[in-house]
Structure 1
Amino acid sequence: MTISSSIVDDFTDKIAIKVITGLNNFDIKKITKMTQAGEIAKATYMDIAADISIIHELQSNSTIPICVSAVSSKKLVQCQQAGAQILEIGNYDAFYEQGRLFSSKEIIEISKDTRNLSPRTALCVTIPHILCIEEQIQLAQDLKNIGVDIIQTEGRSTGFSKNGDLSGVIQKAASTCSSTYAISQNSNIPIISASGISALTTPISFLYGASCVGIGNNIRQLNNITSMVMYIYEVKTAIECNRNKKQNITHSIKTSNITLNSISSRVRV
């Protein structure tokens, strides 16, 4: 499996964060902003649409590792050849909106094709939340048996809109956290919790067995790099607090090593 040591270390230590720009997001300006924020805030890696031109653009301005997401093994392998370190089958939100659902059988076939075409590249597969928990567990086990390296759980976050409401924030992450817990209890494959994850629910994900959290929609809604960096930092702070580090950490950019001036100095115009 070809993957950078920094990603392996973060997964091993269960502190990994990936920033998701979106499977159907081809807005290079927005993607570039999110990538700059991810690099400044020291996210583990970026998850972008499977598009070679976007990969080349990010590689010319950033050193942060890149993962590409798609449901086509051909697209994924083309992106691997262009420099993507992780291939991911998912994310499905855009397809759900079109009424397109994925069965376990279909996901296994795409996974087999991708693994056969690219046997040494790290492969992640998203488990559809539409499957019952028993099916999700079985699918995770089947995927591990065919050589999948990482599993990602998802939830029904697109169905909630209670911005700023505590119950809404928890509700957004409930499905993916539940799946994370169930799969982690029945398999030792590394798990990414994604869909509706925030600084509040990140500790729950790791407590339930995740090795990484995926954050995307909450960052995409922000307008500037500074705000994006601060949001990622909030998630990192939540992880540090959850690990019971003996230091005075508060959820404020003012107490971090990242200052507004240092962010501004690193933002590329």
Structure 2
Amino acid sequence: MQTLFCSPSSSSSLAIFKLNQNPLLPHLVSTPRLTLKRRPASTTRALLSAHRESVLKDFQERRALKIISGLQNLDRENVASVVTAADKGGATHVDIACDAELVKLAISLTSLPVCVSSVDPAEFLPAVEAGALMVEIGNYDSFYEAGIIFSADQILNLTKETRRLLPSVALSVTVPHTLGLPDQVKLAELLEQEGVDVIQTEGGKCSHPSKSGILGLIEKAAPTLAAAYSISRAVKIPVMCSSGLSAVTAPMAITAGAAGVGVGSAVNKLNDVVAMIAEVRSIADSLTPSAAQLSRPNSAFLNL
């Protein structure tokens, strides 16, 4: 069997990945705790399908803004602050670690669709049962820090397993920036064929700006912007540009072809909820051109 990761072997890496819960092991899918059993299966599928359409609406309208607390972030206080900031700051979605109790906390704080991130498909089911409306295979930053990377085949296998377990739930998958750009595009095309609803890009971790200020922010976002540009022209499903974005570069992502942006550390690393709300609002405002901005090109044309 193919190992789920390729990295230097260490106890911390093994603990992070929970090898005893390898999502590709067949016994997991038959574990009783992993079944949605609150409603008849047909009713559950109908409800999830309806939610799926609602969750994807902002992507289809090219105005999605997802605030990410972090795949390994189980700090309830920080997650609560990030969720509150997303809600009050004008985001359309919030993305948290795949934990049923965190999902319950999040839905008590916001009416925004809650997305959960994991690299273990089996973990998604209890989170969906708790109220998550979208699942994300991605937000790999914490794994990169541990020396763990993912191949295209591994991502594709995780996607197939997730779609098998949750055929009616909105599914987003991040294409790893560790792949070359042509390989990212190829993987995105394969993911579309597997029924993925949203492709997420990344690249902030591989970017090392040489400048400060606005130029540095643009340099930081360059890899994920390049991926969004290339992938959005190869697939028909929405592309979410994520990783290394700011209020300066978020609008560039939409121009590049993205249907939305995902923002993590620019928000979740701040010290208090007020600062988080202000940052989310700044990014949300950058994605919503004012009437003055919309009329500016016409005015410039008339003055020629």
Give, in angstroms, the shift of residue 246 of structure 1: 1.8
CA contact (8 A) 1:4 1:65 kept: no
Whole-Å separation in 1 of the counterparts to 2:270 and 2:130: 29
Whole-Å separation in 1 of the counterparts to 2:180 and 2:222: 14
Whole-Å separation in 1 of the counterparts to 2:175 and 2:77: 30
CA contact (8 A) 1:56 1:82 kept: yes
2:205 is matched with: 157
1:10 is matched with: 58
2:139 is matched with: 91
1:14-29 to structure 2, matched below 5 A, reads 14-29=62-77
Whole-Å separation in 1 of the counterparts to 2:109 and 2:210: 36
| Higher helix proportion (structure 1 or 2) | 2
**Stretch moving more, 207-216 or 163-172:** 163-172
Read off the aligned partner of 1:246 and give its amino acid letter: A
Secondary structure of 1:91's counterpart equals coil
1:235 is matched with: 283
Read off the aligned partner of 2:112 and give its amino acid letter: I
* The one of 27, 40, 56 aligned to 2:104: 56
What RMSD, in angstroms, separates the aligned Cα atoms of the two structures? Answer: 1.9
* The one of 196, 205, 219 aligned to 1:148: 196
Whole-Å separation in 1 of the counterparts to 2:211 and 2:116: 29
2:251 is matched with: 203
Give, in angstroms, the shift of residue 159 of structure 1: 5.2
Read off the aligned partner of 1:52 and give its amino acid letter: A
Give, in angstroms, the shift of residue 110 of structure 1: 0.5
Whole-Å separation in 2 of the counterparts to 1:161 and 1:22: 23
1:187 is matched with: 235
CA contact (8 A) 2:171 2:198 kept: yes
Read off the aligned partner of 1:11 and give its amino acid letter: F
Cα separation, partners in 2 of 1:222 and 1:161, compared to 1, 3 Å: farther
Cα separation, partners in 2 of 1:141 and 1:43, compared to 1, 3 Å: same
Whole-Å separation in 2 of the counterparts to 1:192 and 1:36: 22
**Stretch moving more, 27-36 or 76-85:** 76-85
> Structure 2: any 5+ residue segments left out of the alignment?
1-48, 295-304
Read off the aligned partner of 2:226 and give its amino acid letter: S
1:246 is matched with: 291
* The one of 150, 156, 172 aligned to 1:124: 172
1:266 is matched with: none
Give, in angstroms, the shift of residue 162 of structure 1: 7.1
Structure number, greater radius of gyration: 2
CA contact (8 A) 2:209 2:217 kept: no
Read off the aligned partner of 2:78 and give its amino acid letter: K
Cα separation, partners in 2 of 1:133 and 1:161, compared to 1, 3 Å: closer
Give, in angstroms, the shift of residue 211 of structure 1: 0.6
Does 1:67 find its partner at 2:131? no
CA contact (8 A) 2:209 2:219 kept: no
Whole-Å separation in 2 of the counterparts to 1:22 and 1:10: 21
Secondary structure of 1:240's counterpart equals coil
Give the TM-score normalised by the residue count of structure 1: 0.86
Secondary structure of 2:144's counterpart equals helix
Give, in angstroms, the shift of residue 107 of structure 1: 0.6
* The one of 100, 106, 109 aligned to 2:157: 109
Cα separation, partners in 2 of 1:154 and 1:248, compared to 1, 3 Å: closer
**Stretch moving more, 220-229 or 152-161:** 152-161
Whole-Å separation in 2 of the counterparts to 1:66 and 1:58: 7
1:81 is matched with: 129
